[in-house]
Structure 1
């Protein structure tokens, strides 16, 4: 992976390299994104907020989304993230981005982006999903998401982070890696 990519401005600022926390359902994307947004003093974009009612209905019935379902959703997420970057100077996005084509679509709208791929053992992720009580995505979608997951490729700016450690350790590892690669560079506590 191209760990040194910081965008056209070369500063490593969030505006040049929005951060997308990615992975299958249940890995903790929203929790990590919220913690990183707080640490960096930037806005968080929650991709789940942009699903259509039809997408939510399908997922709540354990029906996997198709590309036709996902592409308008990805466009809405990208637009929200772009707006945050342009108006507030940064964004941390929680979005599954399971396939390379989805990440390319987001990069096409946002320019250079850094992806943090949360990954872990299937059993741990399933356990987390079983414990969920107030989310429209449950354990029934885990295998279909794992089936289509395409890990980050060598030419994609980003890193993989293991989730089988306490969340505080994941946050520290993410911040350390983001500092190391230079994005985002501002307001880190």
Structure 2
């Protein structure tokens, strides 16, 4: 069976980090936070409220893809978070070795904005949420993925995700 990577995707504030960590723990897989792959210039732009361009994102996405491939070569299934807002961004990630699946965390804009307003220590300001929502391209039928609504506590989101990702039984 091929190595499986689950990319927990969605706009800022959708719960990627929390759900990704819980999912990785539940599945006993290595976990990576995509924010850690950003070069300092990207972090500075976002902290200043400036949306990233596709050119800004290219090396970041390549670094995540390469991390996935390295884990696949070690025979490790993984969980990684990444906004992966556009199909073109997800195409870069799908070039990783192994089966790359997407878990799109979705929810009403008001709920996500409220979450962003109440979190501490993150460089992404709430002012960038509208640009993220405008950029978001939903998963297509050609992509290996599922969408889960985040209107329940994180542990329940993980349960929804596991049922959606593995509908034929326990993981």
**Normalising by the residue count of structure 1, what TM-score does the alignment of the two structures yield?**
0.85
| Mapped pair 1:164 → 2:147 | no
Give the 5 Å matches for 1:142-161: 142-161=129-148
The DSSP-based 3-state class of the residue aligned with 2:156 is helix
Pick aligned residue for 2:10 from 20, 23, 27: 23
The DSSP-based 3-state class of the residue aligned with 2:166 is helix
Give the 5 Å matches for 1:88-103: 89-103=76-90
CA distance in 1, matches of 2:97, 2:115: 31
Q: Which runs of 5+ in 2 are unaligned?
A: none
Residue 72 (structure 1) shift: 0.5
CA distance in 1, matches of 2:154, 2:25: 14
Deviations 1:19-60 (A, max 9, x none): 100000000001111111111111001100010111000000
Q: Is the 8 A contact 1:18 1:110 kept in 2?
A: no
Aligned partner of 2:124 in structure 1 is: 137
Q: Is the 8 A contact 2:146 2:165 kept in 1?
A: no
CA distance in 1, matches of 2:35, 2:159: 25
Deviations 1:74-109 (A, max 9, x none): 001111122223225111010000000000111012
Q: Which runs of 5+ in 1 are unaligned?
A: 1-10
Q: Is the 8 A contact 2:17 2:81 kept in 1?
A: yes
- In the alignment of these two chains, the number of paired residues is 171
CA distance in 1, matches of 2:58, 2:64: 10
Q: Is the 8 A contact 2:68 2:96 kept in 1?
A: no
**Normalising by the residue count of structure 2, what TM-score does the alignment of the two structures yield?**
0.94
The alignment's C-alpha RMSD in Å is: 1.6
CA distance in 2, matches of 1:32, 1:81: 18
Runs of 4+ off more than 3 Å: none
CA distance in 2, matches of 1:33, 1:110: 20
